[in-house]
Amino acid sequence: MSLDEFLHWNDGSDTHYELIGGFPVAMAPPAEVHRALAVRLVTRIDGALSSRRPCNAQIDAGVIRPDRADTYFEADIAATCAPIEVGRQAVKEPFLIVEILSPSTERHDRRGKLPAYRRIETVKEILLVASDERYAELHRRAGQRWLTEILRGDESAYFGLGRGRNLNVGALRRYRIWRRHGTLTSDRLRRVNMVFQNKPCFRSLNINRLRAIWKTVLERNRG
């Protein structure tokens, strides 16, 4: 089956499918924790992009491989700055893709989807989040290379991975920077904010918000 045929195909059910090498593959319904985490994440990411419309985050997002005409993935979340177009099924020019890992999907997400996502030129970050433990991976494009940052335990829980707390994609990187300092003065907060203010997910964090986050970090470290 070609990609065009797949996009116009309907089996008459509510089953979600991906097209893998020309063959439609049914997707298992996500578990409750998977659905809840996806909603929390897409809400936070889309909220962080609210000042940069038409940038938006979408759930169950269609992703097309640039090098294949027989493959169509459905990502848990994708963010793009392309305007939404009526009738379009795949996300255009995604810059962030999020996959929530579960025991039944992790192998496909890592071995099938992750390498394909890296081939999409517009994709700058790929976030893999575990649904059954406090674990996350942030894969970030750095020129011709990809860098991977791993967060475990309290680092991932602090950003809402599995607990429903606030999440900001940029905070996954900034958290470790802040932990190197015992205190943050107003000047330091401004410098930290200036470094990240041009990034799409960071502009909504002002000085008061940064100070509140830092206070929470200190309290958690003392605990």
DSSP string of the chain? --HHHHHT---SSS--EEEETTEEEEPPPPPHHHHHHHHHHHHHHHHHTGGGTT-EEEEEEEEE-TT-SS-EEEEEEEEE-SPP-TT--BPSSEEEEEEEE-TTTHHHIIIIIHHHHHT-TT--EEEEEESSSSEEEEEEEETTEEEEEEEETHHHHHTTTTT-----TTHHHHHHHHTT-S---HHHHHHHHHHHTTSTTTTT--HHHHHHHHHHHHHHHH-
State the maximum Cα–Cα separation within the chain, in Å, rounded to a whole number: 60
| Whole-number pLDDT of residue 134 | 81
Confidence of residue 194 (pLDDT cuts 50, 70, 90): low
Reported as a single tens digit per residue, the pLDDT across 122-173 is 999 999 999 888 888 989 999 999 999 888 765 554 443 333 334 444 454 4
Tokens of 143: 């020129």
Residue in this structure with the two tokens 């960071």, named with its chain if needed: 202
- Tell me if 97 sits within 8 A of 123, measured CB to CB: yes
| Whole-number pLDDT of residue 24 | 93
150 CB contacts (<8 Å, ≥6 apart)?
135, 136, 137
Q: Give the number of other Cβ atoms within 10 Å of residue 51's Cβ.
A: 10
Q: How far apart are CA 2 and CA 9, in angstroms?
A: 10
pTM score of the predicted model: 0.71
Q: Which domains does the chain have, with CATH numbers?
A: 3-162 (3.90.1570.10), 170-223 (no CATH)
Tokens of 82: 């392309």
Kindly state the average pLDDT of the residues 91-109. Answer: 93
Confidence of residue 210 (pLDDT cuts 50, 70, 90): low
- Tell me if 78 sits within 8 A of 57, measured CB to CB: yes
Reported as a single tens digit per residue, the pLDDT across 50-82 is 889 999 999 999 999 888 899 999 999 999 999
Q: What average pLDDT does the chain have?
A: 78
Tokens of 54: 């038409």
